[in-house]
Amino acid sequence: MFKRTSLVSAFLVGAIALTGCGSDSGTEATPSEAASSPAAASDVKVGLAYDIGGRGDQSFNDAAAKGLDQAKTEFGVETKELEAGTGETDAQKEERLRLLAEGGYNPVIAVGFAYAGPLGKVAAEFPDTKFAIVDDASEASTAPNIANLVFAENEGSYLVGVIAAQASEAGKIGFVGGVNTPLIKKFEVGYEAGAKSINPDIEIDVKYLTEPPDFSGFTDPAKGKTAAEGMFQGGADVVYHAAGGSGSGVFQAAKAAEGWAIGVDSDQYLTAGDDVKDVIVTSMLKAVDVAVFKTVEAAVNGSPLTGVQTFDLKSDGVGYSLSNPAVSDFTAKADEAKAAIIDGSVTVPSS
């Protein structure tokens, strides 16, 4: 039986007390606490276009939704949210963004790198509208009226790699990526580097669920489960996913195998459900909520964001969660690694 079982037993009492707690101020970034009642209504209208999976994915899109909800509560802004569909075309993405811009929503926030090309076209059509895109700073989405909200996913993934290598009794861990893209590769290489900093001989099993242009790997829990099952059956005892909604299948596989899983983007110990939460030793936090909130805040203050806005370890834009008390055995080395990355003594690869 893997270490998960003994640690969960040891921390049973502490789990009751700590469930719902985030990390300390040096690890997890969230917007300020919402006011108890909405602020006076602002005349700013905010449009948000989700990536596939949408609100309710318990991960990437939900983090964006959290930031939007925070802004709506604090500033009284009017909001409109539009969902994406699996397998849709760039033309459909363009139309979604165009509808928001035509409706007077300003800023318009696109969630996910898949919007890069469509956003570039629509932003050119509406030069007086401010746009923002999460997870892309490519030439396709570069324009004076676009803010590029990007993250150092490799740095946060390095920290959970440090945790994974310590938690593993088998000396073998896994990584499940939703779609094989340069962005998801950043998660993989950071994770591998962090794990190898603890155990240079550790084995790392890697599986991507789909290849572009098939992006269903972010919304297919069955594929996520099958991939993780193969890793656990092959001797891995910790599996990290960067697979959006498919991650729920990874958690199910970890539960069945009595192994550990590592979540992504949001604190998935708090969102994944009571049936699997105990197997999620930590999550790599990506403060999409903070990025969305700050985008709206800047618009409300009359100074809209433009250009590349990077959220890294130094700015608490990425980190790892502490909600599962079981992670406490592994935090000392993770925090040492964080300090080393921030001071420049460790450079994390990104590709």
The enclosing domain of 86 has a CATH number of: 3.40.50.2300
Domain-embedded: residue 32 = no
Residues 201 and 329 grouped into a single domain: yes
Residue 329 lies in a domain: yes
Partners of 214 in the beta sheet? none
Let me know if residue 38 belongs to a domain: no
Residue 212: DSSP 8-state: T
298 CB neighbour count, 10 Å cutoff = 18
Instruction: Check whether residue 113 and residue 227 sit in a common domain.
Output: no
Residue 147's DSSP bridge partners are 132, 307
Do 210 and 247 lie in one domain? The reply is: yes
Q: Around 67, how many Cα atoms within 13 Å sit in the side-chain half-sphere?
A: 28
Extract the tokens encoding 61. 């899109």
One domain, residues 127 and 181? no
pLDDT at residue number 60: 87
* 3-class DSSP state of 168: coil
Sorted by sequence, the CB contacts under 8 Å of residue 270 that are 6+ apart come out as 19, 20, 277, 323
Does 200 share its domain with 326? yes
SS3 of residue 326 by DSSP? helix
Strands (E), the chain: 45-49, 78-82, 108-111, 131-134, 146-151, 172-179, 203-210, 238-242, 260-265, 280-286, 307-311, 318-320
Note whether 275 and 176 are same-domain residues. Answer: yes
Residue 306, Cβ neighbours under 10 Å: how many? Answer: 16
Residues 142 and 275 in one domain: no
Of 11, 25, 52, 28, nearest to 284 by C-alpha is 28
Report if residue 33 sits inside a domain: no
Q: Are residues 246 and 277 in the same domain?
A: yes
pLDDT at residue 4, rounded to an integer: 53
Q: Is residue 214 assigned to a domain?
A: yes
Q: What is the pLDDT along the chain (351 residues), one digit of tens a residue?
A: 444 544 444 333 333 333 333 333 334 444 433 333 445 578 999 999 999 889 988 888 999 999 999 999 999 999 999 999 888 999 999 999 999 999 999 999 999 999 999 999 999 999 999 999 999 999 999 999 999 999 999 999 999 999 999 999 999 999 999 999 999 999 999 999 999 999 999 999 999 999 999 999 999 999 999 999 999 999 999 999 999 999 999 999 999 999 999 999 989 999 998 999 999 999 999 999 999 999 999 999 999 999 999 999 999 999 999 999 999 999 999 999 999 999 999 999 999
pLDDT in tens, 293-323: 999 999 999 999 999 999 999 999 999 999 9
Packing angle of the helix pair 116-125, 90-102 (nearest 10 deg) = 40
Tokens in use for 145? 């009226």
Number of domains observed in the structure of the chain: 2
Contact 52, 219 (CB under 8 A): yes
Q: If DSSP codes are grouped into helix, strand and coil, which group holds residue 75? A: helix
Residue 173, domain member (yes or no): yes
Distance (Å, whole) CA 309 – CA 122: 20
Phi, psi of 79 (to 5 degrees): -130, 155
Which domain covers residue 307, as residue numbers?
45-151+289-311
39 falls within a domain: no
Assess whether 175 and 136 both reside in one domain. Answer: no
User: Are 257 and 293 found together in one domain?
Assistant: no
For residue 316, is it within any domain? no
- Whether 203 and 327 share a structural domain: yes
pTM of the model: 0.82
Q: Clarify whether residues 177 and 269 are in a common domain.
A: yes
